[in-house]
Structure 1
Amino acid sequence: MANRKNKKESSQMGTVEKSSNNDASVTDDIRGAEYYHGMVPRQDAEGFLKREGDFLVRKTEQTPGKVVLALSVRVTDELCRHFMLNMDPATNKFYFEFTHQESTIPDLINWHMSSKTPISAASGAKIRRPMERSPWLINHDSIVANKKLGEGAFGDVFIAELDQGGKQEVAVKTMRAEATREARLRFMKEARLMRKYQHKHVVKLIGVAIHEHPLMIVMEYCPNGSLLSHLKKNKVSAADKLRFTTEAADGIAYLERSKCIHRDIAARNCLLSQKNELKISDFGMSDNKDEIKDEALEKVPVKWLAPETLQEKVFTHKTDIWTYGVLVWEIYADGAEPYPGLTKIQTRAKLVVSDYRMKMPEGTPPLVSEIVTGTCWQKNPEKRSTMDAIHKKLRDFFEAKK
């Protein structure tokens, strides 16, 4: 973030590295280079490199606690190669694969480009075109944190000011520097997924800041907070409850069409914009798959899980539809916890063994109750409708009520 002091990269014998427990900024000459992409995962890096000779430089964790610089190069249509940047302790010069040495990293890159010398003889990989950073890769200096909102799974969440040719208020999720490599990959996966989604009822990703620590996901700011908090603190009208129900269905239907299994749909993970429009958020557990197996089931509260998830530890688009039904129950129950009076163990037993279903709260429109109990909470997942069909029913009902 702004006002952070950039520390010079210290070079160890062999690969150029820095402990991930410290500020992992690289030297100023590489930090400002158009081809430097920060802590971009290998999968993202390869996606950026389209043509033979495209290249970028990134940071990667070689072993736990050891962050190094790597050169990623598109060698053929099917193949990318990744080369560690090294420093010769005898000369204090940089090189790849025991080849030509230069005093600075940019000089080394420029030499390989101008001389057209392969990075290594064995690979034949030549660098031709530096891949510029995408607009969604944000410099830390452009972000100024204003207020801490809370703590997320990876680090703190802030309201911040983003200055990119104009100032705007944003929400920022951070990743602690000491987080594991697996946690960082999950963090970047969340950003990669969010980048694909553009919908008025899904929180918008603005960009990521990954050139140094802390890593950040920068999103649109929803000033009216979580739907759960809003339901608990305010007397919400019947019209607004129906609107929230319809808007959530619209956002989840879009995610279904986008092949996204959210896995954690709940009032706590819906945010409200300045105009109180509902937006689906928190994609930390999401994935673009038709089915997800999760043997642990540690991260999602039991009371939001579908019976097949509890029994088979599986998540699908149909389990998201079940969970949407629980969200609708929350909306009409003014933010109460589902299965009131039951423990997690009791809830699991009643769902799996007794095929129990909650009654919809008093005041729920009959059509909404029928959608939840007759469609979303069908025991057989195949008998649950699509979110598109559910949204269309609710949209027509909502429009007729205006």
Structure 2
Amino acid sequence: MSGVELQPESTQSEEKEEPKTAATTISSTEETKTENPNVALDNLAKTPIQLILQPTPQTPAKTPETPRIQKINNLKKSASFDSKNQPEDSKTPKQRDQLIEVPSDEVGRVENNIDNLPFYHGFMGRTECESMLSNHGDFLIRMTEVGRRVAYVISVRWHYQNSHVLVKRTKTKKLYWTKKYAFKSICELIAYHKLNQIPFYDNMTLICGLARHEWQLNNEQVTLNKKLGEGQFGEVHKGKLKPNVIKFYGVCTMKEPIMIVMEFCDGSSLEDVLLSKESKVSSEDKILYLFHAACGIDYLHGKHVIHRDIAARNCLLNSKKVLKISDFGLSVKGVAIKERKGGCLPVKYMAPETLKKGFYSTASDIYSYGALVYEVYTDGKTPFESCGLRGNELRKAIIGKSVILTIDVECPEFVKAIFEQSRLYDTEQRISSKRIIEIFKEEAGMHELDATGLFGRIGSFFSRVRRQKEAEPSVPILT
């Protein structure tokens, strides 16, 4: 980026440099602070912001190495000197500063898909962003265009001022950084600075992430179908919204009766369908239902919500054979939560770490998903019902591995593999919801098994043919 001028974002502001000290390595960033938007606009409207890297002091003291963190020497930063615009006395050869790379295992288990971070807002202008930042420590991550490139920005409210820090990327190892610590992903950068309350720039720390609005949907939730037309600003499509989760509208708590208001499903629960004696669930529908359940779980986990009670009784079907998960549990900021005391616990569906220590996580939901797979392929049987153990005895047996759930009926091999990987004792080794979805797509072509896809259309066709035969038995059907 040497000698490259980057145009400021839509609302220009003064660039603030990090204070120089002899005890630390000086870093540069494209951070801009909004002190007085009108004054800043007048001062910078006619000239672009020139990125200049401050020279490192000639005899700096060594920066103490953070424990358990690997130091990277002589790693180039993405910004460098522009000697043409430096004063005569500061024209020195290009110098290299030091970054400290933090290995992934030092950060911990982190969701590395930035789209799943609740405080990532995608493309967002500075004006809209600053309208959300109200309290000291509020922050969000957004995407913007700087010059001709797309960049990630950490926007934060700090001491009654709004600051916007561009996340930079090294050219060699493709590491993300803002001050002196470099990471393999932006998610790791955010998680490390937030967990350890280390300033990510200047003296600013990440305190309160501002979640997306309910109307800010993920692209994966929308399927585009027929194109209806186009205008000056884009195309218009007919599409489908598919989170596979029962929509929660709100609660009535002003007076008795206390009510929870949710979306209505015009079908039965999956448990009732599996136990029905009138008709048996087909193998295609079993795969379809488990795929929909995995999509619903993945959506919840992407919203940092742990369901805590995945079971056939909590899966509802509509008239189009679309399965949606209901009765979901608790929104969390961390990886796991402590179980509240009281209430009847579904021991037969719970993970061993939950039964042992009372902790729930996304991994414990996956363990329960394995119990759901068991229910589907045994036509509604309850897990562990044949072992003869109940309550605390069953709890101890599951923790001690003296009883293990197995599927002894005919089942596709890839479904058995999903079941076995979801029931692993070690939480770190269990399969993820995203991987389950990928396997269903790879092995069963789930784009064809959707209710509105190939099988659904074929089924609808034969249903119409059957109804026509019953209504007009004397009229031949042409094929």
TM-score, with structure 1 as normaliser: 0.48
TM-score, with structure 2 as normaliser: 0.41
